[in-house]
């Protein structure tokens, strides 16, 4: 299981929501579930951030 909080703690170089989406896509390989347990702390985080991260996770599983 992939946790959003775990990604944010481990990936210190993330500077934007776009960077986060790219990492979620990369780390989705081999994972079955994604839990969004915290809101991303970036100033460019959109209102529909959960939908966008879910989409990035799903596209990374392929």
pTM recorded for the entire structure = 0.93
Percent of the chain with pLDDT over 70: 100
β partners of residue 35: 3
* Mean pLDDT across 14-32: 97
* Contact between 42 and 13 (Cβ < 8 Å): no
The model's confidence at residue 21, banded by pLDDT at 50, 70 and 90, is: very high
Res 62: pLDDT: 74
Cα(1)–Cα(37) distance, integer angstroms: 12
The model's confidence at residue 18, banded by pLDDT at 50, 70 and 90, is: very high
For the chain, the average pLDDT equals: 97
């Amino acid at each position: 299981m992939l946790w959003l909080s775990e990604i944010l703690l481990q990936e210190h170089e993330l500077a934007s929501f776009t960077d986060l989406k790219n990492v979620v896509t990369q780390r989705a390989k081999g994972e079955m579930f994604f839990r969004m347990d915290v809101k991303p702390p970036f100033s460019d985080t959109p209102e529909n951030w959960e939908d966008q991260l879910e989409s990035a996770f799903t596209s990374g599983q392929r």
